[in-house]
A and B are shown apart, each in its own frame.
Chain A
Amino acid sequence: MNRIQKLFSSKSKKIIPFITAGFPTKEATKNMVLAFEESGASMIELGMPYSDPLADGLVIQKASDIALKNGVNLGWIIDTVREIRLESQIPIILMGYFNPILSYGLERFIKDCSEAGVDGFILPDLPPEEASEYVFLCEEYNLSSIFLVAPNTSNERIQKVSELAKDLIYCVSILGITGGSVSTEDNVESYLKRVKDNSSCSFVVGFGIDCQEKVDWINQHSDGAVIGSHFIKNLMDCETSFDCIRKTKELMQNLV
């Protein structure tokens, strides 16, 4: 059983923070992951910055730009996960776009991630249609290929996507990009019920979650809540690693 399968075999409330790797500084990333774990996070989603992140809103775009200016690349991210693994066993998934991975080399990337202790990936611009080699390699290296579903995804497709993903799927809560606000509870509830009825694996929900009420509500209707732009926005002004850790813990306190 890999770390993701193990985590989702229990039914507890789950908070899954997203931060862009290397934002606001390269030094902060490892410390923030450990601080998140200490404050009750269940899993960490690390964003791999990209010049053209077309599923992301302004906040994460800005974080991406800053991380790229800090000199972040895939090699550095994999090394950072390796360092984190010396101190923590919290599941870590990498979220990012396909072009930098292609450039790194798909198999080399998955192999290096596997050896460093990464547990899975979310690649928003790699839908199942284009993913056969990626899925094959993830299976070979025992990593989770986490696919996305959206409110306009059909029941039939949810079934197919969840079979392909096997361990976990990621539900985009809204028609929109990261940082958008969640639509009415009724809409999301019926959408998540559709996912529950059609998915053969666990599912987490992201996009637009920024307070304890939403975290709790999402957890009632799914297997976990992913929080991204909310953290990034609040970390924008942190200058030192110490600031980042303090802010991380403070934000987590208001969510758990």
Chain B
Amino acid sequence: MFLKVCGITEAHVANHLVDCGVDALGFIFYEKSKRYITPQEADEIQKSIGPSIKKIGVFVNETLENILDIAECCQLDYIQLHGTESPEFCANVQKFYKVIKAFGMHDDFDLSLLNQYKNIDICLLDTYFKGASGGTGKQFNWQVLEKIELQVPIMVSGGLNCQNVSDLLHNYDAWGLDFNSGLELSPGIKDINKITQLCEILNIQRKAMNTPDQFGHFNQYGGKYVPETLIPALTELEEMYLSLKDDPSFIKEYKDLLKDYVGRENPLTYANQISSELGFDVYLKREDLNHTGAHKINNAIGQILLAKKMGKTKIIAETGAGQHGVATATVAAKFGMECMIYMGEEDIQRQKLNVFRMELLGAKVVPVSSGSKTLKDATNEAIRDWVASVEDTYYLIGSVVGPHPYPMIVRDFQCVIGDETRRQFKELSMGEFPDHIIACVGGGSNAIGMFHPFLKDKVRLIGVEAAGFGVETDQHAATLTKGRFGVLHGSATYVLQDQHGQIQLPHSISAGLDYPGIGPEHAYLKDTKRVEYKSVTDQEAIDALKWLCEKEGILPALESSHAIALLRQANNGFKAGDKVVVCLSGRGDKDVHTVAQYLGKEIS
């Protein structure tokens, strides 16, 4: 959440905003404004507050020459254009500075106009008021936010105050908030008490979204249980991520890649045949249609951008089913980095196709023969490698597991799944939410990416674990159902373990779910009962895979088949007429050998 306060005229207010952790402040260089400030006065103020807060200059139909003069004089970081500047003019300004373009929203506003502005960094939506350029104190109809999809982040302005900000945060998606008159005693004079109150509200909101605390804890879960050698690397990663996650140019680079390289957004498909069989409506979020065939690429793209910014030249990763390995090898190829993928020997046997794909992509696949020879041991080996190579190597974790900040970073990069679903579903159902959302859970990255944007909504969320041969046997991977509190791979979470705290070997037919731990945020969401966790056996998953093939013409991954299988389980709580979204996390091409073997059929 990017927080800007505009119309600054006093140094002590600017300093208070810095103390409150506000991200940016705005100086209005438009002489007709009641909050006009001269460049000299603005320069005085910016000198007194230091570089930790961004400085934004607001202009209305000003000449390029004057803008550049003032920007240089006042050390501005962004130029906000609040008049009727053309796309070409914005492009000219962007050659020198980052550009925020403001648009006055009204009921007849033509949204296609927004897409004409290709060369801006932030899109600011303000309330249109005839004859005035901002600062009207009125809010526009926020429902328009649900219809807008841009490659650049959106900041909301216009009449925001301590009373209405919760409504905005709770019901709409906005990357940034721009406050002005809502924090004033009179035009140009900000109210320190209101600023303090606002920051308190926002902090509570942040907590409500249970972003982990500054130590990476979700209550007792999460944290950094790693050897000392890795502490500096995790600190560096966290600092880099926090400095970039709200940076418009970083967001744009990430979103551009998701669109042009991954092929997002992917559809939300209505599954008509199974819906009519089941008596309730089923929608499939089609992560299987992504480049490389699963949701894993969303995270791989985000993290390789971080690796690049950190100046790392080598990438290591662990993989279970091979989907994350393929996604990592793919982005490493795209970004010209050396890549090593650790993979358990048993998984190499089960997923030969993906091993070959990784090799084609130029990655080195390192077989891991310790322990159970699966994902858990591949993760151990990747961590051991990282301990020894931490200076030039980036560890690209594939799920919401591992030490802080990984569970947070991976979640944030996967939230594109839920964000898109939210918008797509609202569009086709006139603003309603689905009744239930289902996703499979191994480490839990597709599930958290799907669930997180819905946590604050009245939607039933269900994670499905792998029950293998059944949770009553000792051959399963149902960590939340059968595990207990422990520490695995750097974070505190539920862990499958024996009575002495030795990690138990999980079992699932699906290599991607065959993991004895689970993301710490899932552990937290289980305890708080916000998400229900159920389990599905190997047999049920295979049946679901065949069912979806036959009824919908879609071959789901074995992992995703667990989520599909829940649709047919007894007592699953779905009623006639309900609307259910299933995250179809990946496609099943990689699994055909496993399925054939399970069904006793031979394919060469």
| Residues of A that sit less than 8 Å from B by CB | 50-57, 61, 68, 73-74, 97-104, 124-127, 129-130, 147-154, 157, 161, 172, 174-177, 180
If A103-B501, A154-B232 are given as contacts, then 8 extra A-B residue pairs at C-beta distance below 8 Å, sorted by A number, are A52-B371, A52-B489, A99-B488, A101-B501, A102-B501, A129-B231, A153-B232, A176-B388
Contact A54 B228 (CB under 8 A): no
- A50–B370 CA distance with the chains assembled, in angstroms: 13
B212 at the interface (CB under 8 A from A): no
B35 within 8 A of A: no
The CA of A61 and the CA of B370, in the complex, are separated in Å by: 9
- Is the pair B228, A180 in contact by a Cβ cutoff of 8 Å? no
Is B226 a contact partner of A127 (Cβ separation < 8 A)? yes
Provide the main secondary structure of the chain B interface.
mixed
A177 touches B384 (CB 8 A): yes
Partner of A125, one of B226, B376, B485: B226
A35 to chain B, nearest CB (A): 28
- Of A99, A100, A127, the contact of B224 (CB 8 Å cutoff): A127
Known: A98-B487, A152-B390, A177-B387. A54 touches B380 (CB 8 A): yes
Decide if B486 touches A172 in the complex (CB within 8 Å): no
In whole angstroms, how far apart are the Cα atoms of A102 and B484 in the complex?
11
Q: Measured between C-beta atoms, what is the minimum distance from B117 to chain A in Å?
A: 45
A100–B498 CA distance with the chains assembled, in angstroms: 9
Which residues does chain A contribute within 8 Å of B388, judged by CB atoms? 174-177, 180
Asked if A100 contacts B231 (CB within 8 A), the reply is no
- CB contacts (< 8 Å) of B390 on chain A: these are 152, 175
Is B490 at the interface (CB under 8 A from chain A)? Answer: yes
Q: Which residues of B lie under 8 Å from residue A55 when comparing CB positions?
A: 227, 384, 387
A97→B495 CA distance, assembly (Å): 14
Query: How many interface residues does B have (CB within 8 Å)?
Result: 37
Task: Give Cα distance in the complex from A7 to B28, angstroms.
Answer: 69
Q: Are A74 and B383 in contact (CB under 8 A)?
A: no
Distance to closest chain A CB from B598 (angstroms): 28
Quick check: is B497 within 8 A (CB to CB) of the other chain? yes
Query: Considering the chains assembled together, what is the distance between the CA atoms of A152 and B390 in angstroms?
Result: 10
B231 touches which one: A51, A73, A127, A151 (CB < 8 A)?
Answer: A127
Residues of B contacting A154 in the complex (Cβ-Cβ under 8 angstroms):
232
B223 in the interface (beta carbon within 8 A)? yes
A53 to B388, CA, bound (A): 15
Q: How far is B390's CA from A175's CA once the two chains are assembled, in angstroms?
A: 8
B229 touches A175 (CB 8 A): yes
State in angstroms the CA–CA spacing of A127 and B232 once bound together. 12
B502 at the interface (CB under 8 A from A): yes
B225 CB-CB contact with A under 8 Å: yes
Query: Which residues does chain A contribute within 8 Å of B232, judged by CB atoms?
Result: 152-154
Q: Is the CB of B488 within 8 A of A52?
A: yes
CB-defined contacts of A104 to chain B, threshold 8 Å: 500-501
Per the 8 Å Cβ criterion, residues 461-492 of B in contact with A are 485-490, 492
CB-based contact A51/B391 at 8 Å: no
Q: Are B371 and A126 in contact (CB under 8 A)?
A: no
**Given the complex of chains A and B, what is the CA–CA distance between A130 and B487 in angstroms?**
11
B502 and A149 within 8 A (CB): no
Please name the residue on chain A nearest to B384 by beta carbon.
A177
Asked whether, in the complex, the Cβ of B500 is within 8 Å of the Cβ of A74, the reply is yes
